[in-house]
Amino acid sequence: REGRRPLIAGNWKMHMTHLEAIGLVQKLVFSLKERELDDAEVVVLPPFTALRSVQTLVTGDKLPVGYGAQDLSAHDSGAYTGEVSGAMLAALACGFVVVGHSERRALHGEDDATVAAKVQAALRHGLTPILCVGEGLDVRRAGQHVPHCTDQLDAALEGLSADQVRGVVLAYEPVWAIGTGEVATPEDAQEVCGALRSRLDGRFGPETASAVRILYGGSVKAANTAGILAGPDVDGALVGGASLDADEFAQICRIAA
């Protein structure tokens, strides 16, 4: 992996009150043995309402778990009722924020321009965007998954410098594999992650391409983690459902480390 540290990020989606979140993080930390995790970075992505509790827990005890949010506003402040800004997340010392998740694109009408604006908002506030791209089943069946994903990548990184792109994490999440139990094969994951890295190389140069971490996401479980992570361009996983089970998520983290 050319020195790229594996990253395992748990996307809790709209699960866990702040009280439940405290319990889950405590269980997770108990399940993770710090010494076994030297080689992997572990991040949880709770709902906004649990971020402060997770911050207090993780920072106070210096636990080996980072955290971030699942979305942010493209705007920095103002009359945007219901939105949460990058500045607010930075004030909670979030390290990461998911941008362009397929559920946001499909259910909340986020288009490529919105996703690009959110990537820029994250970078403006010192947050690492976890930028999601991925094709639906129709695109996959038509054999267009690689150009679909590289087009989404191009659109989301529009106007960024190579320096800025080095501050981004990518996640390849085929929509047909999210929450369906139908995991992509290791070859499928490697094919698209490799194509994304080649695209970064073409646009921003080899140094940037080899520095950026590219995750796979879609029905990752402990049982399929080793196979998925075997791809040379797959640097970790974005884990949905399995991140809500502390033991299962800890097991995935140990396999990655």
* Cα torsion 33, 35, 41, 43: sign: positive
Q: Is 179 annotated as a binding residue?
A: yes
Q: Which is nearer to ligand PEP, 117 or 215 (CB)?
A: 215
Give the per-residue contact string, 3-32, with ligand PEP (x = CB under 6 A; - = no): --------x---------------------
Binding segment (CB under 6 A) for ligand PEP, from list 51-59, 140-148, 173-181, 223-231: 173-181
Catalytic: 173? yes
We find the least distance from the C-beta atom of residue 83 to ligand PEP, in angstroms, to be: 21
For ligand PEP, the closer CB: 58 or 242 = 242
Show the binding pattern over residues 174-213: x = contacts ligand PEP (CB under 6 A), - = does not: ----xx----------------------------------
**Among the listed residues 11, 12, 26, 31, the one whose alpha carbon sits nearest the alpha carbon of residue 257:** 31
Look at residue 7 and give its three-state secondary structure: strand
When asked if residue 99 is in the footprint of ligand PEP (CB under 6 A), the reply is no
Nearest residue to ligand PEP, using CB?
240
Residue 11 labelled as part of a binding site: yes
85 is a site residue for ligand PEP (CB under 6 A): no
- Residue of 103, 110, 135, 173 marked active site: 173
- Count of residues near ligand PEP by CB under 6 A: 13
**Active-site residue set:** 101, 173
Which residues of this chain interact with ligand PEP, rule CB under 6 A?
11, 173, 178-179, 217-220, 238-242
